[in-house]
């Protein structure tokens, strides 16, 4: 089968589309034919060795966490052969990756994809949708009527956080570039601010989600209400320590560590069906053009998600 792999940590030039052996599924994992995958900043950080303490030194590695496709085999009996599914890998070693023709998947990592939701949409919402739900509902405990600030609102996670925040009943304010303000409002933001334009004073926020990793608590503190929660989505050693140290502080500084959960994937699928959530896709790349896809990702200029077409004839 085909798989995108890299044989050492480094830049985009390390990526190569190669012939690879089919993954061994075992008795408790489903084998999925990947139709679409999607990129996340975490994929680039893994490749650069940012998490090498967890990802280790064994190579080759295959990037990709998001997927949508159909079941080739499921020894657990949960999904019939041919079932349309989507999900996200709980993977830190990159021994599995979705930028490949096939991937083996744990039962908690996939859910059914409704027939009228496209493979592109399923792949695009998986990780960022789970992150937004778990960050806002579980970590921040966002309540109806509270004020939410989303930093980095035009990216993959930010576009989901706007919509999930509104779904949870919050008043949503966004920070993006000036060119993306109308884009954020169209997604449901009540107020769209620009980091490159002056902003008047406003009421303090109950929750801040830093989707981009460039709004530290020290800078955001003056905008926060008493007992506010600041949530970061970019893991750092400092943030891991602060997550534990500030849980009883006046302002909590938390890190969202996403875990695949079938019930949350089912929620995303239901929201896609009823129209209260929409996948935001900037561009779709062929698997052979994955280097260009990563260059686009790492430019930090994408609006929403970048999808990779793994199987063109599998629609």
DSSP labels for 129-155? Answer: HHHHHIIIIIIS---TT-EEEEESTTB
Looking up residue 237, the CATH number of its domain turns out to be 3.40.50.720
If you write DSSP's letter for every residue of 147-188 in order, what string do you get?
EEEEESTTBHHHHHHHHHHHHTT-EEEEEE-GGGHHHHHHHT
289: which strand partners? Answer: none
- Please state the length of the chain: 315
- Together in a domain, 21 and 136: no
Judge whether 140 and 44 are in contact, CB under 8 Å.
Answer: no
Of 206, 239, 255, the one marking the end of a domain is 255
Residue 228 has a pLDDT of: 94
- Together in a domain, 135 and 226: yes
How far apart are the C-alpha atoms of 134 and 138, rounded to whole Å?
5
The verdict on residue 266 lying in a domain is no
Residue 214 has a pLDDT of: 82
Looking up residue 77, the CATH number of its domain turns out to be 3.90.180.10
Strand, coil or helix: 33: strand
Residue 249 has a pLDDT of: 58
DSSP class of residue 312? Answer: G
Residue 248 has a pLDDT of: 47
Residues (pLDDT < 50) of the chain are 248
- Together in a domain, 196 and 303: no
Q: How many domains does the chain have?
A: 2
**Which domain covers residue 98, as residue numbers?**
2-113+280-314
Residue 245 has a pLDDT of: 54
Residue 196 has a pLDDT of: 81
How far apart are the C-alpha atoms of 288 and 296, rounded to whole Å?
15
Residue 240 has a pLDDT of: 61
How far apart are the C-alpha atoms of 37 and 186, rounded to whole Å?
26
């Amino acid at each position: 089968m085909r798989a995108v792999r890299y044989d050492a940590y480094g830049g985009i030039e390390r990526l190569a589309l190669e012939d690879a052996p089919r993954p061994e599924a075992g008795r408790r994992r489903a084998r999925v034919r990947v139709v679409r995958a999607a990129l996340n900043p975490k994929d680039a950080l893994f490749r650069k060795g940012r998490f090498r303490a967890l990802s280790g030194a064994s190579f080759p590695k295959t990037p990709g966490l998001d997927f949508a496709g159909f079941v080739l085999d499921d020894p657990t009996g949960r999904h019939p052969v041919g079932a349309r599914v989507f999900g996200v890998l709980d993977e830190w070693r990159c021994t599995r990756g979705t930028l490949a023709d096939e991937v083996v998947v744990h039962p908690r990592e996939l859910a059914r994809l409704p027939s009228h939701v496209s493979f592109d949409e399923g792949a695009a919402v998986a990780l960022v949708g789970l992150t937004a739900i778990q960050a806002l509902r579980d970590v921040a405990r966002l309540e109806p009527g509270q004020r939410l600030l989303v930093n980095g609102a035009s990216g993959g996670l930010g576009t989901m956080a706007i919509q999930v925040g509104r779904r949870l009943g919050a008043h949503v304010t966004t920070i993006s570039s000036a060119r993306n303000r109308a884009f954020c409002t169209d997604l449901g933001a009540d107020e769209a601010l620009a980091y490159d334009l002056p902003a008047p004073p406003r009421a303090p926020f109950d929750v801040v989600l830093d989707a981009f990793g460039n709004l530290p608590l020290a800078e955001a503190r003056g905008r926060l209400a008493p007992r506010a929660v600041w949530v970061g989505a970019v893991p750092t050693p400092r943030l891991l320590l602060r997550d534990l140290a500030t849980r009883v502080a006046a302002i909590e500084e938390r890190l969202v560590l996403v875990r695949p959960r079938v019930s949350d994937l089912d929620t995303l699928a239901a929201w896609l069906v009823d129209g209260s959530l929409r996948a935001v896709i900037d561009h779709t790349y062929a698997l052979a053009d994955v280097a260009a896809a990563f260059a686009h990702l790492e430019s930090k200029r994408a609006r929403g998600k970048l999808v990779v077409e793994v199987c063109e004839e599998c629609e």
